[in-house]
Structure 1
Amino acid sequence: MTETEQHSVVYQHHQSARSPRLAVALALWAAGLVALLVLLSPAIWIILLFGLPLLPGLWELWRNPTALLELDAQRLSWRNATSAADIPLEQISHIRLDKRWDFSHRTTVHTRLGKRLCIPPDCQPPHRPFEQALAQAGLRVERHHFRIY
């Protein structure tokens, strides 16, 4: 087996903060502020107060942090703006996929040494194709729905 075959990517998920969804949401919020200003003529401090939620979105749009998750024949790795991890598959005991009460998904990697590593939310891939890729890689997957622990 060649080096490229050995490290061929089984599953890859790449996500960028600069998305059309974010741009549309910011544009709609700003349009709402302009409409509020034109139609109701409120005090400027009210417009500024309601404009504050735009700032984090504009910062993300300008900075554009990326997140990446890769699964290949040898390892599971992820990286984002604040953290990175690279775990060999033989060190993984199982992977737990949780559906939370707010319908979001959380993925926790359990190692054979008893360590738990949570995959950051911005690195989370769509859960169904990821679960299939994990099974294809020979990893044990536990799925839990709406559990409190």
Structure 2
Amino acid sequence: MAEPFTFTRQGRSRRTLSVLILVYAGLIGLIVAVDAAWWVMGLLALLTLPALGDLYRNPSAGVRLDDNQLDWHSGRRKGTLDLAEIDHMRFDTRWDFSVRVSAMLTGEKRVHLPFECVPPHRDLEAAFQTRDIPVKRTHFSFF
């Protein structure tokens, strides 16, 4: 019987705060240094609203894998799968080198795990292999 594998991530992080500070400093610097149009910089600042929302709300995302089931949560979304339902796990490496994880069920269905709740893929792959769940990797597929 293996120890349960758990991973949790919070939306409020120093990395997010640091990136936002750098972006805002850069936008203000462009306004001051090169007299950039304030309204253009304001439109660019609008792109940071989702990150500001994460800092404010601090949503939690994570996954828990034990000997019987796989549970995940991301914000308001939640899911649970019995390990007996899973035929294999599929790890897709995308062109941006991110790894998307899907549970391929025995009934030809597929359940995608939300990206924000997935831990580092090597750790998750080792946890699945410990529980004798096959893992298939695909690299850089178009579809």
Percent identical residues: 36
Q: 1:138 aligns with which of 127, 132, 135?
A: 132
- For 2:123 and 2:36, how far apart are their aligned partners in 1? 49
Question: 1:3 matched to which residue of 2?
Answer: none
User: Aligned equivalents of 1:48 and 1:145: distance in 2?
Assistant: 38
Moved over 6 A (4+): none
Structure with bigger gyration radius: 1
Q: Deviations over 1:112-140 (max 9, x none)?
A: 12221000111111111111110001111
Distance in 2 (alpha carbons) for counterparts of 1:32 and 1:76? 42
Question: In 1, distance between residues paired with 2:142 and 2:27?
Answer: 40
**Corresponding residue number in structure 1 for 2:108:** 114
> C-alpha separation between the residues in 2 aligned to 1:118 and 1:39?
46
Q: What is the total number of aligned residue pairs between the two structures?
A: 143
Q: Is 1:86 aligned with 2:80? A: yes
- C-alpha displacement of 1:59: 1.3
**Partner SS state of residue 60, structure 1:** helix
Q: 1:41 — aligned with what?
A: 35
* In 2: Cα distance, 1:44 partner to 1:148 partner: 39
Give 5+ residue unaligned stretches, structure 2. none
How many angstroms apart in 1 are the aligned matches of 2:63 and 2:55? 21
1:98/1:106 contact within 8 Å kept: yes
Root-mean-square deviation (CA), in Å?
1.7
Structure 1 unaligned runs (5+)?
1-5
